[in-house]
Amino acid sequence: MGLTIEAMGVYDVPVFDSDGRWALANGVAHNPQTSLPWSPTAQRNVYLAGHRMGFRETWSRMIFYNLPKLDTGDEVLLKDRAGRSYRYRVSEVFIADPKDVWVMGQVRGRDMVTLQTCTPYPTFEKRLIVRADRV
């Protein structure tokens, strides 16, 4: 998949179906235990994580640095390998504890993407969560 968020200046960043370190170092990590945009379920939660700072000279470098600037209504676009687009609009932003795994779960009646990065800078002891619903 590829991820585009114009409001953040992020264009066609690779999304890897892995929650491992390699995926985070080379782009955005999709937690494989969560939905995909094309999953055949009534509700979906496509859970994506990216570095706030990342590693120099990699796709991860500051990929989600501007995540806190996203606002209600901003568009998040996922594109699959076949070129199909899945559009979402930001609906909520909140802070969670790193142990709050409930943020990865599906929510009844919602088809959404959840974006996560570490916050606040520079301690990174919490998680910034941005949710966007399918349009």
| Sequential DSSP letters for 97-125 | -TT-GGGGS--TT-EEEEEEEEESTTT--
How far is Cα 82 from Cα 96, in angstroms, rounded to an integer?
34
DSSP-derived pairing of the beta strands 75-79 and 2-5: antiparallel
Using the structure block, give the residue that is written with the tokens 């998949």.
1
pTM: 0.94
- In the structure, what pLDDT confidence band is assigned to residue 17 with cuts at 50, 70 and 90? very high
Could you state, in order of their start, the residue ranges of all structural domains in the chain?
2-134
**pLDDT of the residue at 59:** 66
Helix (H) or strand (E) holding 48: strand 44-49
Task: Convert the pLDDT of each residue in 52-96 to its tens digit.
Answer: 887 777 666 788 999 999 999 999 999 999 999 999 999 999 999
CB atoms within 10 A of CB 91: 14
How far is Cα 3 from Cα 24, in angstroms, rounded to an integer?
14
Q: How far apart are the first and last CA of the chain?
A: 18
- In the structure, what pLDDT confidence band is assigned to residue 25 with cuts at 50, 70 and 90? confident
Q: Can you tell me the mean pLDDT for 18-39?
A: 92
CATH of 2-134, one of 3.30.70.360, 2.40.260.10, 1.10.3720.10, 3.10.20.30: 2.40.260.10
